Amino acid sequence: MKYPVNEVFQTIQGEGVHSGVPSLFVRLQGCPVGCSWCDTKHTWDVLKEDEVDTHVIISKRLDSPQYTQLTGSELIALFQKQNFKASHVVITGGEPCMYDLSELTDTLIEAGYSIQIETSGTYEVLVNDRVWVTVSPKVAMKGGMEVLRAAMQRADEIKHPVARESDIENLDALLAESELDASDVFICLQPISQKARATKLCMDTCIERNWRLSVQTHKYLGIA
């Protein structure tokens, strides 16, 4: 199976439980969720005219909707050709769970990589059982998609974007609807756009509930 790959790069994971881990990011094209604050809106549409050769993706320096189609084995060959050293792969988007990722994650795990998926929770999560699933639930977005109970229950980590108190209330409702106890999963609160008010709200809530703070360290460091 081939997957529409918008971008592949090596960096340090800046968010959530794996913050600080050297990582290979694989960004897939396509997302119907419609988050207003999204910083990768160029990945939303999958148009045939944007499909390009793999060498264009590797040399890409600016955000664009261009993508290439790769199998898991072709992706590993690309890692090797680029001489990437990280062994942790983060599959993100877009919304990666638009696609059945079973074959891709099986192939990467068989090759010795650890895998993390970042998803909005609006699609069924079809991955190898050993994949670390990060659900960043998107509630009442423009696309009108529902966060699935099954996706929440598959999560190893819930990384929740927060701007105001109502975002905390939405998370509480999702946890209750999904019959998830906060002790069963890592919960990371992530302030939207590093705003001081949102950061304080996240810090206060994390201290009160013994949750974790995710501060998007890559943005403070000015790296990808």
Give the residue numbers of the binding site for Mg(2+).
40
CB 128 within 8 A of CB 138: no
Q: Give CA separation, 142 vs 33, 76, 178, in Å.
A: 7, 35, 22
User: What distance in Å separates the CA atoms of residue 79 and residue 69, rounded to the nearest whole number?
Assistant: 15
Instruction: Return the percent helix, strand and coil in the chain, to nearest 5.
Output: 35, 25, 45
Contacts of 84 (CB under 8 A, 6+ apart): 10, 24
CA dihedral 187, 124, 143, 61 (to 10 degrees): 80
Give the residue numbers of the binding site for [4Fe-4S] cluster.
31, 35, 38
Q: How many CB atoms lie within 10 A of CB 70?
A: 22
For 220, the token pair is 């403070």
Give me the residues paired with residue 186 across strands. 157
Reduced to 3 states (helix: H, G, I; strand: E, B; else coil), residue 54 is helix
Give the residue numbers of the binding site.
12-14, 27, 31, 35, 37-40, 92, 94, 136-138
User: What distance in Å separates the CA atoms of residue 207 and residue 203, rounded to the nearest whole number?
Assistant: 6
Give the residue numbers of the binding site for substrate.
12-14, 27, 92
For 112, the token pair is 């010795």
Give the residue numbers of the binding site for S-adenosyl-L-methionine.
37-39, 94, 136-138
